[in-house]
């Protein structure tokens, strides 16, 4: 009998907690507030995650731009890094050219031959490093980007604003101006 009583009490316990069939569980006011708080917290975290993703993408883009900039600077250094050195060497090249130009045409001395060979080697070495001479022959239009006017000469023999004479050769380093050509420029005669 004791067992029956105990089993009967057990059934009543389940009945008290079991909802009736078809009845829905209604959240209490405190549960509704808690759900609202959790939804707001979830929304805030979603917004924070979106902001962090945006920051990540921006930082990633900045890093990629930095890498490209560093690569470009590296290429520039390799291409133009020896510019100062080359500018210091050009006067020696000028002097070798002057020596050859002032030698007599029939001079076949070993010294002159040695200077010509040295000049030729010098020019070919500079070419390998991207140094090329500028065009500044007489009659060439004057271009202030590449030519430095040292003087002007009135002449009817050439068009105004053209090169009359090249006083010093100009050079390009990988298609960029290394040293402008120093020239005399023609002007129209007065009268």
Q: In sequence order, what DSSP letters do the residues of 84-110 get, joined into one string? A: HHHHHHHHHHHHHHHHHHHS-TT---H
pTM of the model: 0.63
**Phi, psi values for residue 173, rounded to 5°:** -120, 110
Query: What residue has token string 């979106």?
Result: 50
Cβ-proximal residues to 35 (8 Å cutoff; 6+ apart), any chain: 27
Q: Does 167 fall in a domain?
A: yes
Distance CA 132, CA 129 (A): 9
At residue 23, what are phi and psi to the nearest 5 degrees? -85, 140
Percent of the chain scored above 70 by pLDDT? 85
- 147 phi/psi in degrees, rounded to 5: -115, 145
Q: Kindly tell me if the per-residue pLDDT of 115 is higher than 80.
A: yes
Domain span including residue 169:
131-191
Measured between alpha carbons, how far is 77 from 177 in angstroms, rounded to an integer?
15
Q: Is 139 left (phi over 0), alpha (psi -120 to 50) or beta?
A: left
What local confidence, expressed as pLDDT, does residue 2 receive? 53
Establish if 188 belongs to a structural domain.
Answer: yes
Question: How would residue 25 be classed by pLDDT, with cut points 50, 70 and 90?
Answer: low
Residue 8 has pLDDT above 80, yes or no: no
Of the CA atoms within 13 Å of residue 160, those in its CB half-sphere come to 5
Q: Residue 166, Cβ neighbours under 10 Å: how many? A: 20
| 139 occurs within a structural domain | yes
Does residue 16 surpass a pLDDT of 50? no
Domain membership of residue 11 (yes or no) is no
User: What is the pLDDT at residue 144?
Assistant: 94
Rounded Cα gap, residues 189 and 84, in angstroms = 40
Cα dist. 42→33, 46, 121 in Å?
14, 6, 76
Q: Please state the domain count of the chain.
A: 1
Amino acid 24: pLDDT: 58
CATH of the domain at 164: 2.30.22.10
Query: What is the tens place of the pLDDT at every residue in 136-150?
Result: 999 999 999 999 999
Contact status, residue 173 vs residue 130, Cβ threshold 8 Å: yes
Residue 111 is assigned to a structural domain of this protein: no
């Amino acid at each position: 009998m004791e067992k029956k009583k105990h089993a009967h009490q057990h059934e009543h316990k389940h009945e008290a907690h079991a909802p009736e069939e078809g009845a829905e569980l209604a959240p209490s006011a405190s549960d509704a507030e808690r759900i609202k708080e959790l939804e707001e917290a979830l929304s805030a975290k979603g917004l924070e995650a979106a902001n962090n993703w945006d920051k990540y993408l921006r930082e990633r883009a900045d890093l990629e731009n930095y890498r490209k900039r560093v690569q470009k600077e590296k290429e520039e250094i390799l291409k133009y890094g020896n510019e100062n050195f080359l500018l210091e060497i050009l006067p020696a090249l000028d002097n070798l050219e002057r020596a050859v130009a002032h030698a007599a045409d029939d001079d076949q001395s070993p010294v002159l031959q040695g200077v010509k060979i040295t000049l030729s080697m010098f020019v070919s070495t500079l070419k390998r490093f991207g140094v090329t001479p500028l065009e500044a022959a007489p009659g060439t239009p004057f271009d202030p980007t590449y030519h430095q006017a040292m003087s002007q000469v009135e002449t009817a023999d050439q068009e105004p604003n053209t090169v009359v004479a090249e006083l010093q050769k100009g050079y390009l380093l990988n298609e960029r101006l290394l040293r402008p050509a120093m020239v005399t420029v023609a002007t129209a005669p007065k009268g």
